[in-house]
Amino acid sequence: MVLNSYAKLNLYLEVLNKRRDNYHNIKTIFERISLSDKIILKSRRDKKIKIICNYPRLPRDSSNLAYRAALLLQDSFKINKGIDIKIIKRIPVGSGLGGGSSNAAAILIGLNKLWGLNLTQSKLANLAENIGADVPFFIYNSPFAEGGGRGDKIKPLKVINNLRLWHILVVPKIEVSTALVYKKWDRLRQLTESNYDVKILILALKKRDLALMGKILLNNLERITVKLYPKLSRIKEKLIHLGLKSILMSGSGPAIFSVFSSRKEAVSLCRQLKREKKFWQVFVTRTI
């Protein structure tokens, strides 16, 4: 079985408070984008779960979310089969694009079919919550969704499902520690609170008002991540110098994206950015 495992962007990310379980409550708007990994599943007669990947630093054990997803289904439903999981990585690791979470969701969806479990989407989403906060979003076949709780309480935004945005995505060659970013947020919370309203962003998306959307894009982790990893400010300065306005970091970073209404405009600017590819990776991607 061959599966596409798509990345995500956060068009809005507001951290509300720290929870008793040491996670954080957030409000977010997820967008599923066309940048993707490819996953190939092959059944085994034994019960082993084997990860094969073209990215040498990717964990092959239970610290890998795809491995944990397979193990969760195997244990929960007493499956006496194993699986070879080949992951062809294209989503940069540790970038704030949800690659590991997307891989885990793809495994849940794929093995649900391959092992004939017949689990509903809702049941798969409930299982996904046990693996990681972003995993449930990828279970739903929805280009846009609102996320609450840890980001795991998903409400697909069906009213804007037919909207397609184009993006330039710039990913510097650094890996950000999400735990460190949130630890810093706990100390500096008073500096990152916002008066923005996620409902206004949803309305702007519904009306396809990109000018309004650009003003409401929010990530109150961005200031903290840039302070911890100053190289990110250079990317933002470059994008601003090129005349871009709708610029935001995704998740805890370091991926930074800009919003366009057409592929032509995005491709043109992408060529200019790729001249400095030794510092970062650049992608043109769209809503999918």
Active-site positions read: 8, 134
DSSP E strands in the chain: the ranges are: 2-18, 24-44, 49-53, 82-88, 144-148, 153-156, 166-172, 218-219, 247-249, 256-260, 280-286
3-class DSSP state for residue 97?
coil
Residues 90 and 35 sit within 8 Å (Cβ to Cβ): yes
> How buried is 189 (Cβ within 10 angstroms: 0-12 exposed, 13-18 middle, 19+ buried)?
middle
State how far the Cα of 71 lies from the Cα of 139, in Å rounded to an integer.
Answer: 17
d(CA 30, CA 198): 12
- Rounded-to-integer distance, Cα 90 and Cα 272, Å: 21
